[in-house]
Structures are given as C-alpha cells and as structure tokens.
Amino acid sequence: MKGEIVFNKKLSDKYYYMKIKSPDFVINAKPGQFFMLKTQNFDYLVDPLLRRPFGICDIDNDCFTLLYILIGKGTYLLSNLHPGTIISFSIPLGNPFTIVKNSKVALIGGGVGIAPLLFLAKTLKSNNNFITLYYGGKTKDDIHLIEEFEKYCDNILISTEDGSIGSKGVITDLIKNFDYDIVYSCGPKPMMKAVINLFKNKVSKIEVSLDERMACGLGACLGCIVYLKDGEKIVQKRCCIEGPVFDGYKIVWEH
C-alpha cells in the first residue's frame, strides 16, 4: 500500500510523530494492530532492505499516525521525510486488542509503548468505558501526546524516573486501584512484567502488546518468537501472526 505523508513532527530529540493519508489503510485498521513500513522512498536503494514494524497510534478520518523513536538507520531516514512524500507500507497486521463495553479499564504505557494505546483509548471511549491512563517514562522527553489522551481518558497519572514531569519513580508506583474489569499494557518488558505481577489475582484479564524484532511481519522468518504457557506446556508463538497482543498472564517473561 502507499500513502502521502501529511506531517512528520519532531516532538523531542528522539521522538517523532507522523501522519499518513491512506483511506484504504484506515478502513480495516483496529487498535493494537501494526504495519510494516518502508523507511526510505527511493526505488533504487536497498538499504535498509527490510521494512520496519510500527504500531498504529491513531486513526483520524482517512489518515493514520505513528509515534517513533530514533534508534537506527531506518528511523533516521524516516525522520528526514517531508510532507507530500509518498511512502510504502503493508496492510494492518496482527491481532488487535479486545474491545469491551461499559467497563472500567486501565491503560498502562511506557515510553514509545504508549503509541498503540491512543487508538485503543479512542475506541474504548466510544464504547462507553471509564478509562484510567498510567503513563511512565525516564524523563519528560519520553512523555508525549497528553493532549490527545485527555480527549478520551477520565484519569491520567504520569511518572518519570527523574521526576521531571509527574511523580518521581516508575509507573507501577502510582497504581493503587485494582478495581478494573480489564487492563491493557504496552511498553518495556520489565514494566509489563511488573504490571502482571502487581495485578495478579486482582484483575481477571490483562492484554499486553509485545514489541519484538520483526523481519517479515508475515510469520515466515520466525524471528519474533515469544513463549506462552499452555497448561503444563510452554509453546512458541509468532508475535507478528498470533500477536502482537497476548494474554499477559500467559507470557513467559524469563525467555
């Protein structure tokens, strides 16, 4: 698929926010899905060879957005693309979050892992849910899109490890209420593991979105294997096909 870049905003030294116009993409997009994006737009270049996976951050009419962080050549090239550029990407991929109705829900995100929770928050609000957002980062430079989340979340709690915005500490320090019907989380694995341990036996369902290295996004390369509990067994699942959203209680975090 192809779309036109509407904007490519620099939010901080390492965070960028991009909007792409593509009516065909947004028709089938669901919260929690991802897509594989070609980070350079010159047909005669083959470096980087592989597309990069990104979560769908939000849907706005016939456009979708992504939040990304500079971590290598691919995202560096992406950060230099200008509005009007035609860019190539896959259809929406992977399994989405479960959407509940008339419930109390908690969204727990860390760093760039906050990205897929915005589209989720918007969808949950349209289904009459009461939403609390817990958002953590290392510094204030890791906290973004708060004004967007305020449109959909009833409560927002923020923490940073250095105390530069919100409370000082990690985000799980702020979780005192466990009266939720479902919890959704995306972010660093240590954070999500801590969330699982904190809510264990207190909330019946937790869904997590995993950010594994994906080369193909189609399940062929087996490069994004995650390990899940299946009764007494431990089974392998492909994050790109069976995920990226999983039952948090089934994840084997030590693998």
CATH number (domain holding residue 80):
2.40.30.10
pLDDT in tens, 115-144: 999 999 999 999 999 999 999 999 999 999
Q: Same structural domain for residues 220 and 200?
A: no
Q: Same structural domain for residues 162 and 235?
A: no
Q: Same structural domain for residues 151 and 247?
A: no
Q: Same structural domain for residues 106 and 198?
A: yes
Supply 167's token pair. Answer: 């409370």
Q: What CATH number does residue 217 fall under?
A: 2.10.240
Q: Same structural domain for residues 101 and 205?
A: yes
Q: Is the dihedral of CA 244, 192, 19, 99 positive or negative?
A: positive
Q: Same structural domain for residues 225 and 145?
A: no
pLDDT in tens, 144-173: 999 999 999 999 999 999 999 999 999 999
How confident is the model at residue 54, as a pLDDT?
92
191, exposed or middle or buried, with CB in 10 Å at 0-12, 13-18, 19+?
buried
How far apart CA 148 and CA 242 sit, in angstroms, is 29
The secondary structure element, H or E, covering residue 134 is strand 130-137
Q: Same structural domain for residues 112 and 204?
A: yes
Q: Same structural domain for residues 216 and 242?
A: yes
How far apart CA 71 and CA 232 sit, in angstroms, is 38
Residue 227 belongs to what domain range? 212-255
Q: Same structural domain for residues 63 and 105?
A: no
The number of folded domains in the chain is 3
pTM of this prediction?
A: 0.94
Residue pair 1/24 in contact by the 8 Å Cβ criterion: yes
Q: Same structural domain for residues 218 and 135?
A: no
The secondary structure element, H or E, covering residue 69 is strand 63-69
